[in-house]
Amino acid sequence: MQSKSNLLLTKRTASLVVLWTAISLALVACASASLKPKIEVPSTPTSIQIQPIFHGSMVLTIGDKTIYVDPSWGGEKYKDLKKPDLIIITDIHPDHMDLKTLGEIATKETPIIAPEAVAKEAKEYTNITRLKNGQSTSVGDITFSAIPMYNITKEHLDKHTKGRGNGYLIKFGGKTIYISGDTEDIKEMRALKNIDIAFLCMNQPYTMSVEKAADAVKDFKPKVVYPYHYRGKDGLSDTEKFKALVKESSPTTVVELINWY
């Protein structure tokens, strides 16, 4: 017989699964098959292109490398894009790790960088580099470093546990891109230095509020920040408010707004 504490944990886990499934279905329902405009990042020695896909999914082109970040939402959304040279995945939730989409866009040998929790779910993929928080790997002249992403608000600790998922620092040609993954305004993010481009999540009740995200920017001062992953339980976060808060508290940071939805 299960103890009362184990029974409560089981019920909480089941509730989270139901909630994530409902959110994912809602997001899929509003996802458009058409590609968002591609963004060219100017004034960099190595060419950088950002292709928003949807929510937390994007494709980065860095020099001659095409990097898919958290590919989800179906292979149809990627049909007109170059096949990935590399895939990076942040976490196990279906808006980040979608095995159906992986099967439609990649082969079993496509290189993947992911945390151990993802690798356990994607066992059939034979070319996964497993990174724990604090570990790094290189592909050509691009370095990928896994950094923590987790919740710190007491009532949300079970949503993203410390050590399970990875945010990423991508370094190349003297530039650094930060991809937050699903995180709150953790001390590790606030301590970052010399970030050229940051992709920052802000959706309640799962990650940061707009105010917390702006306050974190005040600490780590990226040169450019793109709000992403900003649809939450009650709809879209107010990215215009985020932009205004950052302008007030961190005027050296440029906020670029993309329609991810």
Same-domain status, 38 and 7: no
Same-domain status, 56 and 7: no
Query: Structural domain tally of the chain?
Result: 2
pLDDT of residue 258: 93
- Residues of the domain holding 3: 1-30
Place of tokens 């993309």: 258
Same-domain status, 22 and 83: no
Same-domain status, 157 and 176: yes
pLDDT of residue 155: 86
pLDDT of residue 9: 42
Residue 78 belongs to some domain of the structure = yes
Q: Where are the alpha helices (DSSP H) in the chain?
A: 4-30, 99-105, 116-121, 187-190, 210-220, 239-249
CB contact set of 144 (below 8 Å; sequence gap of 6+): 88, 113, 131, 136, 137, 138, 168, 169, 170
pLDDT of residue 34: 66
Residue 82 belongs to some domain of the structure = yes
Same-domain status, 146 and 223: yes
Residue 3 belongs to some domain of the structure = yes
Same-domain status, 21 and 45: no
pTM: 0.86
Give the span between the Cα atoms of 150 and 160, in whole angstroms. Answer: 5
pLDDT tens for the 261 residues of the chain, in order: 445 444 444 445 445 544 555 555 555 545 555 678 788 887 566 789 999 999 999 999 999 999 999 999 999 999 999 999 999 999 999 999 999 999 999 999 999 999 999 999 999 999 999 999 999 999 999 999 999 999 999 888 889 999 999 999 999 999 999 999 999 999 999 999 999 999 999 999 999 999 999 999 999 999 999 999 999 999 999 999 999 999 999 999 999 999 999
Same-domain status, 8 and 59: no
Neighbours of 125 (CB within 10 A): 21
Residue 260 belongs to some domain of the structure = no
Give the span between the Cα atoms of 67 and 87, in whole angstroms. Answer: 6
Same-domain status, 56 and 24: no
Cis peptide before 37 (omega within 30 of 0): no
Residue 261 belongs to some domain of the structure = no
pLDDT of residue 188: 98
CB 196 within 8 A of CB 177: yes
Same-domain status, 118 and 201: yes
**CATH classification of the domain holding 199:** 3.60.15.10
pLDDT of residue 23: 53
Same-domain status, 124 and 224: yes
Token pair for residue 32? 């458009």
Same-domain status, 131 and 235: yes
CB 88 within 8 A of CB 169: no
Same-domain status, 63 and 138: yes
Q: Angle between the 239-249 and 210-220 helix axes, to the nearest 10 degrees? A: 30
pLDDT of residue 44: 66
